[in-house]
Amino acid sequence: MKAVLSHSSLLLVSRMALGTMFIVASIDKIGSPDAFSENVAAYGLIPYSLVNLFSLIVPWLELLCGAFLLGGFLIRPSSGLLTVLLGMFIVAMISALARELKIDCGCFGKEHASPVSWLRVLEDIGLLLLALHSYAFSSAPTPATEKPSG
C-alpha cells in the first residue's frame, strides 16, 4: 500500500488537484477582501478585531501554497499549512452547522456563494486527505550543495 501511495504519479495528481483548488479558491477572496471578511465574521469564531487581518492573510496563503504545490516547490510546508487551514475550515463549518447558522461558507468568494452544508464539509475532508497525502509521502529534497562524506 505504501508503494502505491508514494508513487510519484499519484503524488503529482494530489498536488495538482489541491494546488489548483486553492488557487481558484483564493482569487475571488483576494479581489474582494471585504466580502470575504463578511463571510469570516458570520462564523462568529474569530474576535472581530482580527477578522480583517485573517481575511487578508488567508487567501494569500492559499494562493502561495497552491502555486508552490503546482510548481513542486516547498511541497511539505505548503501541504502542511493547507492541512492546518483545512482543519480550521472543517471545524468552522461543523460549528456553523451545529449552531444552525444559515451562512455562506466563503469557500470560493462572493461570486460563487455556497451555503455551509455537510457536502461542503465532506469536500473539505477530501481536500484534507489530499493535503495529508502530499505531506506524508512527498520527500523533502536534499540540498544540491550537500555532498556525500567519504
**Across-strand partners of 104?**
115
Tell me the per-residue pLDDT of 85-121, one tens digit each, with 9 for 90 and over. Answer: 999 999 999 999 999 999 888 877 666 778 888 999 9
| CB-CB neighbours of 38 under 10 Å | 16
Residue 116's closest CA among 125, 128, 104, 108?
A: 104
CA 31 to chain centre: 18
pLDDT of residue 146: 45
Tell me the per-residue pLDDT of 31-87, one tens digit each, with 9 for 90 and over. Answer: 988 888 999 999 999 999 999 999 999 999 999 999 999 999 999 999 999 999 999
| CB-CB neighbours of 28 under 10 Å | 19
pLDDT of residue 143: 47
pLDDT of residue 7: 60
- Average pLDDT of span 11-40: 91
pLDDT of residue 145: 43
Instruction: Look at the block and give the residue holding cell 469564531.
Output: 45
CA 27 – CA 142 distance, rounded (Å): 33
Joined together, the cell numbers standing for residue 143 give: 540540498
Angle, CA 29 vertex, CA 129 and CA 40 arms, to 5°: 80
**Across-strand partners of 115?**
104
* pTM (global) more than 0.85: no
pLDDT of residue 140: 52
Q: Is the pLDDT of residue 30 over 70?
A: yes
CA 91 – CA 97 distance, rounded (Å): 10
